[in-house]
Structure 1
Amino acid sequence: MFKPFSLYIGSRYTSLRQRDHFITFISIVSMVGIALGVMVLITVLSVMNGFTKEIRTRILSVTPHIMVTQGQSNIQDWPMAVKHFSTRKEVEAAGPFVEGQGMLTHGREVHGVLVKGIDPATVDAVFPLRSTLITGNVDDLAPGKFGVIIGSYLAKSLGVGVGDSITLVIPEVTVSLVGVTPRLKRLQVVGVFEVGYIYDTTHIFLNLEDSARLLKTGDGVTGIQLKLFDPFKAPQLAHELREEAQHFYNVVDWTVLNSAYFSAVKMEKTMMFFTLIMILAIAVFNLISTLVMVVTDKRGDIAVFRVLGASKKKIMAIFISQGAIIGLIGTLMGVILGILLALNVTDIVSFIERLFKVKFLSEEVYFISFLPSDLQSADVILIATCAMGLSLLATIHPAWRAAKVQPAEALRHDA
């Protein structure tokens, strides 16, 4: 079978059957170094993708896909607005909300909270309260009763449960004969929810009418939230709604509401990629030293090839081929190991946690109690391409040195 001269010689120099075991050993070390670098890159980026996907899923489950407000004013004719938005085919549900800030107190504990008034009939458009309740009932948020549903973290911090009373402090002072006093309201806990995200520590839910009375919004509401069948169509629909409303409404989608977080995650992933590429580049330096030693060891062979008529380009091609073969084998090994590790890293970490009885991820800090992974083919292709590119780049200097070997001097030295 026909084989190109340079590729054939390069593959022979890479062969494990050659007699120089030291050259074989450092070639294997170079392959392993590249393989480990590629494996780590694929695994780390897959874990970062997993974190991003998991957090995005949790954000989309509790964050409005689209929020409609009217600047600093309240929306007065909100029933008609809700009906209008609900007619859009992309909208699964629409619901009004009243929003404001306050402080919850119980005993000596004080926590700042976001007060959210919701209509129990349309609550799923605003927040998945029914599906996240761990105790209590959404229908107990009856108007005039001033019941409240709080997050699990708040309930634990305040030491309260269903049936207990807590005090809500509204950041608005009242001037009377006795002086300046803050507005206080006694609320009864009728439910506790848990979503495993920051909402457990910051949000409380009241009936729409009760919150409007507390926050003095009258018959109006702070805004209207839309839940879509496909959250990723939110930017397009938000643009259409802004055009329809002629900027009468402020329409913001979830990508804008959480843009700071996703921008930070994207930048972190980019910086992590370049950091790990540097580690891969260090592994590729082993390839340079390997090829330099091979060139030194094969000076006699190079001289013979030159005497037999091989050009400088063919001599360079021999060592470029050898470096490419080492890089290719190392990259393929790294891709295979990286894919296997990325697909099983969640189970592996869980096994290590059970075996040594440790917890790597605290849910209170990361909102995720496991190590997620999301393997993306684009990342694998990019990493493999970078590894091969660096490997080929590493072959240029040793191949250039091989091409500069003078046949007469090399043969005289060997003699």
Structure 2
Amino acid sequence: MSKPLALQIGWRFLRTRTSNGFVSFISLSSVVGITLGVAVLILVLSAMNGFERELRDRLLAVVPHGELVAMDGNLEGWPELVADAASEPGVEAAAPFVLIEGLLQRGDVMKPVSLRGVLPQWERQVSAAAQFMDEAAWQSLEQDEPVLVLGQALAQSLSVSVGDRVSLLMPSAGDNPLSAPRNVVFTVSGLFDLGGEIDRTAAFTNMARAADIAGLTAGASGVRIKVTDLFEAQQLVHNIGYRQAQYLLLSNWTRTQGHLYSDIQLVRMLTYLVLVLVVAVASFNIICSLVMSVRDKQAEIAILRTMGMSRGGILASFMVQGAATGAFGCLLGAIIGSLLAWKLSDLMAWIESALGINFLSGDVYFIDFLPSQLIWQDVVSVSLLAFVVTLIATWYPAWQASRLHPAQALQR
């Protein structure tokens, strides 16, 4: 028998009402199971893609891809190091900075802060921090004045706003550990809103002012770099650092933010595992429905065999029946999952507004919304994976149907 005939018979078997209502119920439940599995996986993968995009475009656009810091905090010859780092293949730009760890005080409230002194024009080349604050606030860092740009969460915890004064407490420069800390008064010139830990602990000021406060004669404590490929950051930092004459502390983004990326990849892997399990359960329903369909259509199978249809034709007919069920579930799941993923951010925002709750807190995570990025390659791969699993599950009952002896079937 030709393949088109097997396709036609399999399609007719699928459309014909069975005398056993339970078979129809099992077949319907298998379609629903595959649809839910595919739709949920596409939805979760889109959310993971969104988190990865926000991690790359928001958090990793601000935090250093790599840093080279002087052991004693005073980086001699930093202009030469900046030029050397910028010439390294794979490095887009480099910029100097001064880092001061201390406490910000406003009244009786004190909060830890990482104060980063920057040169705004240089910093724009290696960081997107300027995109998360007013232009006036960023330009204020050009002035050699005691001004600070604070994270929104840090400013709220100190109950300060633009124009208010805060005190920076930092260790004394002397050798006596019991000496009183130094107190430097700053004026808040602006706020930035990035989300997460950076908002609670970071602040910016002018690099010359920060170097003067820290007593750095060289004018900088380290150099940060921006790389083209994030996953080459560690190697590039090592390449630059190992050829310097002075000892440097080498760091890259994987030491501070790498756990976020690892968590995203872990969830992605577990999601694929869940898909296989869900589709496997749905495929078991396909097996059950096809086995019962074979028993229900024993007479039709026997007649086809006596008319000359080969065992391969019978197998192909039932494979078509199971494959059509799986394909319909995969297609329906892909459509539903894609539509939900396309509007996931808006949908979650509406649910949060209706319930009055926030699923993601900006004080804990680096974003306060659920991002989503639908990638069509994910839709295709998920649908194909689910279809292959259902196709494998279809083979056994179809093979059983092809092994059925016509004489025995007609006697029943």
TM-score w.r.t. structure 1 length? 0.84
Report how far residue 31 of structure 1 moved.
Answer: 2.1
Give the aligned partner of residue 342 of structure 1.
341
Give the aligned partner of residue 194 of structure 1.
192
Superposed counterparts of 1:177-256, under 5 Å: 180-197=178-195, 198-227=197-226, 231-232=228-229, 235=232, 239=236, 242=239, 246=243, 248=245, 254=253
Give the aligned partner of residue 76 of structure 2.
76
Give the aligned partner of residue 166 of structure 1.
166
SS of residue paired to 1:366 = coil
The superposition leaves residues 83-137 of structure 1 with CA deviations (integer Å, 9 ceiling, x where unpaired) of 5656789877543101132222333323222121223453424544544335964
Structure 1 pair 152–298 and aligned structure 2 pair: CA distance change class (3 A): same
Give the aligned partner of residue 104 of structure 2.
104
Give the aligned partner of residue 61 of structure 1.
61
Instruction: State the alpha-carbon separation in 2 of the partners of residues 263 and 98 from structure 1.
Output: 30
Report how far residue 292 of structure 1 moved.
Answer: 1.4
Instruction: State the alpha-carbon separation in 2 of the partners of residues 173 and 71 from structure 1.
Output: 16
Report how far residue 241 of structure 1 moved.
Answer: 9.0
Structure 1 unaligned runs (5+)?
none
Deviates more, 1:92-101 or 1:289-298: 92-101
Counterpart code for 2:359: F
Give the aligned partner of residue 151 of structure 1.
151
Report how far residue 271 of structure 1 moved.
Answer: 1.4
Give the aligned partner of residue 133 of structure 1.
133
Give the aligned partner of residue 265 of structure 1.
264
Report how far residue 408 of structure 1 moved.
Answer: 3.1
The superposition leaves residues 246-299 of structure 1 with CA deviations (integer Å, 9 ceiling, x where unpaired) of 355777665676433322221221112212331222222221111111012112
Structure 1 pair 139–54 and aligned structure 2 pair: CA distance change class (3 A): closer
Instruction: State the alpha-carbon separation in 2 of the partners of residues 92 and 403 from structure 1.
Output: 64
CA contact (8 A) 1:113 1:202 kept: yes
Give the aligned partner of residue 389 of structure 2.
390
Counterpart code for 2:186: Q
The superposition leaves residues 120-155 of structure 1 with CA deviations (integer Å, 9 ceiling, x where unpaired) of 453424544544335964455578753332211111
Answering whether residue 267 of structure 2 is matched by residue 307 of structure 1, we say no
Answering whether residue 367 of structure 2 is matched by residue 368 of structure 1, we say yes
Instruction: State the alpha-carbon separation in 1 of the partners of residues 223 and 114 from structure 2.
Output: 16
Superposed counterparts of 1:107-122, under 5 Å: 107-122=107-122
SS of residue paired to 2:181 = strand
CA contact (8 A) 1:166 1:188 kept: yes
SS of residue paired to 2:368 = coil
Give the aligned partner of residue 294 of structure 2.
295
Structure 1 pair 233–112 and aligned structure 2 pair: CA distance change class (3 A): closer
TM-score w.r.t. structure 2 length? 0.84
SS of residue paired to 1:364 = coil
Instruction: State the alpha-carbon separation in 2 of the partners of residues 141 and 7 from structure 1.
Output: 73
CA contact (8 A) 1:328 1:388 kept: yes
Report how far residue 59 of structure 1 moved.
Answer: 1.7
Instruction: State the alpha-carbon separation in 1 of the partners of residues 175 and 151 from structure 2.
Output: 33
Instruction: State the alpha-carbon separation in 1 of the partners of residues 241 and 184 from structure 2.
Output: 42
CA contact (8 A) 2:65 2:230 kept: no
Deviates more, 1:205-214 or 1:376-385: 205-214
CA contact (8 A) 2:162 2:191 kept: no
Instruction: State the alpha-carbon separation in 1 of the partners of residues 368 and 234 from structure 2.
Output: 34
Deviates more, 1:24-33 or 1:121-130: 121-130
Instruction: State the alpha-carbon separation in 2 of the partners of residues 243 and 99 from structure 1.
Output: 20
Report how far residue 309 of structure 1 moved.
Answer: 3.9
Counterpart code for 1:301: E
Counterpart code for 1:10: G
Structure 1 pair 167–316 and aligned structure 2 pair: CA distance change class (3 A): same
Report how far residue 195 of structure 1 moved.
Answer: 3.0
Counterpart code for 2:111: H
SS of residue paired to 2:380 = helix
Give the aligned partner of residue 47 of structure 2.
47
Report how far residue 61 of structure 1 moved.
Answer: 2.7
Give the aligned partner of residue 328 of structure 2.
329
Instruction: State the alpha-carbon separation in 1 of the partners of residues 234 and 154 from structure 2.
Output: 35
CA contact (8 A) 2:119 2:142 kept: no
Instruction: State the alpha-carbon separation in 1 of the partners of residues 361 and 270 from structure 2.
Output: 24
Instruction: State the alpha-carbon separation in 1 of the partners of residues 252 and 128 from structure 2.
Output: 18
Deviates more, 1:128-137 or 1:267-276: 128-137
